[in-house]
């Protein structure tokens, strides 16, 4: 799925060659790489730089100008042989966008003479050393030396990492209102946003309400309400009147995005969705949040700025809707014994329920239906709390994760792969029964131990490797990226006497 709110990456592949090695090795190997990539993934994502090879600083300038003219917003420096450590790293330095390095493996035992051996295995060491000397951040794959097919896979794996990096450099987060009372957990310093290249616009709930009122009678409301009715499966003429208010609100947000994105290309939103929201708007915004996230514009709940940032990262990685959930409640023991124990390879403490009032995209839940927010209805009339989308989250693989700034301005993140189990929740809201190996220890020593808030983002699939590489690329210290450690691998402060 392609979203207009996510970068489209085009990688310029530039072959480099050390002048004392045969240049034709780099030229021929680049051509083979492009051929292999095109055969497996198509040609849309890549551009073969026609500058024969980069051997000198002048070659570097020519190649840089060429890939810029070709519209490349990402760079692959490809060592066809040993490579010119200065020119190749200057190319990375002066390219304004995400970049990666990979290198050509030797092709045959019969071509290891002076005309056929490239020594790029050695050249990658010098390249990495020079990148560090120049303080250049570049993606280097786990095993960066390979044949044409191997390197094609490396470049393809770089695309979501490049989308994250390029997306954050062009992202604006628009927030409405302060965090709700008793939600200090969602409050975090914004300085790290600027360090990541993200802009933020903080607005008042009153600004949003004023804009909503000005959209009353908007001629587009009927069409949006009809689209909502179709999504929810209402028969013609049977849709609730509430949809008109939700459509008016959706138009308010989308118009605000267009009017306020400024020079930024991409936008994420976060709103204060309770308690005054119900008093003034007389509905809840959950369903609209789910619809926008389904279009690649994440809208987090409860003014969770780093929550919507996390969601945006997930959308860049997957190209699909993500969601933001409370790490919410334990699975009842009788439910575990009846539906999970002996049927799935999870301990009781591996399970929990992820929940939010109704912000998950309809494509990611089954039995989707509109309802009222039952928790808020404890303090407000139920008709003021209409607008949630409810249903159990689809079973399947997930990655639970979050990027957060600590109170003392340290970027910290976690990631854990698991699954949503095919177990009926027998509950309300957008909710699922989640299972993550060693969740109990992860919950105690990572989530609680590292002071994370209760919100976690969810990608629908296993994306831990890509997420980890993307977080490293944008500047998160690997020591600050937590994960669910397997049994026998203790956390730093885990009690060694616990059996």
Q: Helix or strand or coil: residue 351?
A: strand
Residues 6+ apart with CB under 8 A from 296: 3, 4, 5, 6, 315, 321
Q: How far is CA 93 from the centre of its chain?
A: 25
Query: What pLDDT score does 376 carry?
Result: 86
- Calculate the alpha carbon distances from 340 to 337, 343, 351, 454 in Å: 6, 5, 9, 24
Rounded CA-CA distance 82/96 in Å is: 24
Kindly state the DSSP code that residue 222 receives in the 8-state scheme: H
Rounded CA-CA distance 85/96 in Å is: 19
Backbone angles phi, psi at 131, to 5 degrees: -60, -40
The residue to which tokens 């699939």 are assigned: 461
Rounded CA-CA distance 115/123 in Å is: 17
Query: What pLDDT score does 361 carry?
Result: 96
Angle between helices 221-232 and 286-293 (to 10 degrees): 90
> What are the residues facing 388 on neighbouring strands?
371
Q: Helix or strand or coil: residue 51?
A: coil
In this structure, the number of other CB atoms found within 10 A of the CB of residue 51 comes to 18
Rounded CA-CA distance 301/120 in Å is: 49
Residues 6+ apart with CB under 8 A from 105: 120, 121, 145, 146, 147, 150
The b-or-e profile of 291-322 (16+ CB within 10 A means b, else e) is: bbbbebbbbbbbbbbbbbbbbbbbbbbbebbb
pLDDT tens track of the chain, all 499 residues?
A: 578 999 999 999 999 999 888 899 999 999 999 999 999 999 999 999 998 788 899 999 999 999 999 999 999 999 999 999 999 999 999 999 999 999 999 989 988 888 889 899 999 999 999 999 999 999 999 999 999 999 999 999 999 999 999 999 999 999 998 877 777 777 788 999 999 999 999 999 999 999 999 999 999 999 999 999 999 999 887 889 999 999 999 999 999 999 999 999 999 999 988 888 888 999 999 999 999 999 999 999 899 999 999 999 999 999 999 999 999 999 999 999 999 999 999 999 999 999 999 899 999 999 999 999 888 888 888 898 899 999 999 999 999 999 999 989 999 999 999 999 999 999 999 999 999 999 999 999 999 999 999 999 999 999 999 999 999 999 999 999 999 999 999 999 998 888 7
DSSP string, 405-440: E-TTS-EEEEEEEEEE-S----SSSEEEEEE-TTHH
* CA-angle at 182, arms to 180 and 183, nearest 5°: 60
Query: What pLDDT score does 197 carry?
Result: 97
Query: What pLDDT score does 498 carry?
Result: 84
Kindly state the DSSP code that residue 80 receives in the 8-state scheme: S
* CA-angle at 344, arms to 341 and 350, nearest 5°: 75
Q: CB-based burial of residue 413 (10 Å sphere; 0-12 exposed, 13-18 middle, 19+ buried)?
A: buried
The residue to which tokens 């389904």 are assigned: 294
Q: Helix or strand or coil: residue 146?
A: strand
Query: What pLDDT score does 1 carry?
Result: 55
- Calculate the alpha carbon distances from 112 to 26, 115, 118, 346, 364 in Å: 15, 8, 8, 52, 53
Query: What pLDDT score does 178 carry?
Result: 82
Query: What pLDDT score does 235 carry?
Result: 87
Rounded CA-CA distance 460/441 in Å is: 23
Contact 169, 312 (CB under 8 A): no
Rounded CA-CA distance 363/354 in Å is: 17
Rounded CA-CA distance 297/255 in Å is: 13
User: In terms of Cα–Cα distance, which of 110, 138, 114 is closest to 124?
Assistant: 138
> What are the residues facing 397 on neighbouring strands?
419
pTM confidence score: 0.96
């Amino acid at each position: 799925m392609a979203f207009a709110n996510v970068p489209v990456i085009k990688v310029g592949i530039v072959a480099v060659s050390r002048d004392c090695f045969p240049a034709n090795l780099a030229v021929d190997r680049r051509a083979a790489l492009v051929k292999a990539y095109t055969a497996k993934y198509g040609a849309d994502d890549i551009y073969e730089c026609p500058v024969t090879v980069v051997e000198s600083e002048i070659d570097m300038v020519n190649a840089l100008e060429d890939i810029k003219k070709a519209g490349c917003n990402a760079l692959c420096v490809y060592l066809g042989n040993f490579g010119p450590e200065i020119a190749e790293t200057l190319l990375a330095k002066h390219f304004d966008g995400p970049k990666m390095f990979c290198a050509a493996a030797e092709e045959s035992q019969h071509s290891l003479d002076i005309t056929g051996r490239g020594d790029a295995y050695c050249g990658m060491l010098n390249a990495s050393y020079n990148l560090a000397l120049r303080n250049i951040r570049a993606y280097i794959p786990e095993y960066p030396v390979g044949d044409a097919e191997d390197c094609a896979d490396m470049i393809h794996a770089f695309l979501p990492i490049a989308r994250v990096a390029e997306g954050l450099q062009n992202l604006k987060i628009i927030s409405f209102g302060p965090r709700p009372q008793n939600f200090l957990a969602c409050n975090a310093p914004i300085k790290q946003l600027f360090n990541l290249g993200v802009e933020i616009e903080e607005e008042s709930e009153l600004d949003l309400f004023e804009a909503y009122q000005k959209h009353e009678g908007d001629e587009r409301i009927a069409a949006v309400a009809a689209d909502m009715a179709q999504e929810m499966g209402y028969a013609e003429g049977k849709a609730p009147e509430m949809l008109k208010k939700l459509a008016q609100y959706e138009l308010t947000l989308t118009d605000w995005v267009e009017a306020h994105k400024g020079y930024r290309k991409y936008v994420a939103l976060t709103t204060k969705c309770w308690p005054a929201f119900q008093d003034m708007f007389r509905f809840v915004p959950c369903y609209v949040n789910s619809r926008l996230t389904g279009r690649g514009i994440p809208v987090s709940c409860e003014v969770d700025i780093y929550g919507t940032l996390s969601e945006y990262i997930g959308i860049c990685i997957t190209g699909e809707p993500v969601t933001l959930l409370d790490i919410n409640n334990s699975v009842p023991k009788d439910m575990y014994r009846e539906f999970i124990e002996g049927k799935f390879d999870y301990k009781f403490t591996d399970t929990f329920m992820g929940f939010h009032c109704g912000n998950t995209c309809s494509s990611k839940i089954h039995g989707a239906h509109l309802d009222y927010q039952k928790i808020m209805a404890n303090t407000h009339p139920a008709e003021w709390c209409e607008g949630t989308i409810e249903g159990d989250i689809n079973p399947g693989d997930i990655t639970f994760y979050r990027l957060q700034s600590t109170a003392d301005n340290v970027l910290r993140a976690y990631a854990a792969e698991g699954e949503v189990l095919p177990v009926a929740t027998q509950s309300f809201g957008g909710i699922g029964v989640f299972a993550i190996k060693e969740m109990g220890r992860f919950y105690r020593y990572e989530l609680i131990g590292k002071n994370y808030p209760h919100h976690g983002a969810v990608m629908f699939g296993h994306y831990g490797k890509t997420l980890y590489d993307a977080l490293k690329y944008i500047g998160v210290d690997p020591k600050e990226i937590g994960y669910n450690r397997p049994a026998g691998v203790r956390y730093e402060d885990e009690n060694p006497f616990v059996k």
